Amino acid sequence: MPLSIATWNINSVRLRMPLVERLLNEYAPDVLCLQETKCPDDQFPSAAFRKLGYEHIAIHGQKGYHGVATVARRPLEIVEKRRFCEIDDSRHLSVRFDVGGKKVTAHNFYVPAGGDEPDPEINAKFRHKLDFIAEMNAIPAAHDETSASVLVGDLNIAPLEHDVWSHKQLLNVVSHTPVETENFEAMRKAGGWVDLMRLNVPDDQKIYTWWSYRAKDWAISNRGRRLDHVWSSANLAPQLTGIEILSAARGWDRPSDHVPVIARFDLD
What is the secondary structure of 97-126 as a DSSP string?
EEETTEEEEEEEEE-----S---TTT-HHH
The predicted pLDDT at position 216 comes to 80
User: Could you tell me which of 224, 247, 246, 228 has the C-alpha nearest to residue 167?
Assistant: 224
Taking the CB of residue 252, how many other CB atoms lie within 10 A of it? 15
Per the annotation, binding residues are 9, 36, 154, 156, 257-258
Taking the CB of residue 179, how many other CB atoms lie within 10 A of it? 14
Per the annotation, binding residues for Mg(2+) are 9, 36, 154, 156, 257-258
Check: CB of residue 90 under 8 Å from CB of residue 255.
no
How far apart CA 111 and CA 32 sit, in angstroms, is: 18
How far apart CA 42 and CA 206 sit, in angstroms, is: 40
Range of the domain at 110: 2-266
Q: What is the pLDDT of residues 51-104, one digit of tens each?
A: 999 999 999 999 999 999 999 999 999 999 999 999 999 999 999 999 988 999
Q: How many domains does the chain have?
A: 1
Q: With 0.95 as the threshold, say if the pTM is over it.
A: yes
Q: Which residues are catalytic?
A: 110, 154, 258
Four-point Cα dihedral 194, 198, 200, 204, nearest 10: -140
Check: CB of residue 108 under 8 Å from CB of residue 33.
yes
The predicted pLDDT at position 264 comes to 98
Low-confidence residues of the chain: pLDDT under 70: none
Check: CB of residue 153 under 8 Å from CB of residue 110.
yes
User: Could you tell me which of 92, 99, 90, 91 has the C-alpha nearest to residue 72?
Assistant: 99
Residues in the chain: 268
Q: What are phi and psi of 148, to 5 degrees?
A: -155, 170
Q: Is 251 exposed, middle or buried (0-12, 13-18, 19+ CB in 10 A)?
A: exposed
**237 to each of 159, 164, 210, 231, how far by Cα in Å?**
20, 24, 24, 9
What is the secondary structure of 41-67 as a DSSP string?
GGGS-HHHHHHTT--EEEEE--SSS--
Radius of gyration of the chain (CA): 17
Q: Which amino acid is at 207?
A: I
The predicted pLDDT at position 215 comes to 82
CATH number for 206 = 3.60.10.10
User: Could you tell me which of 60, 100, 57 has the C-alpha nearest to residue 75?
Assistant: 57
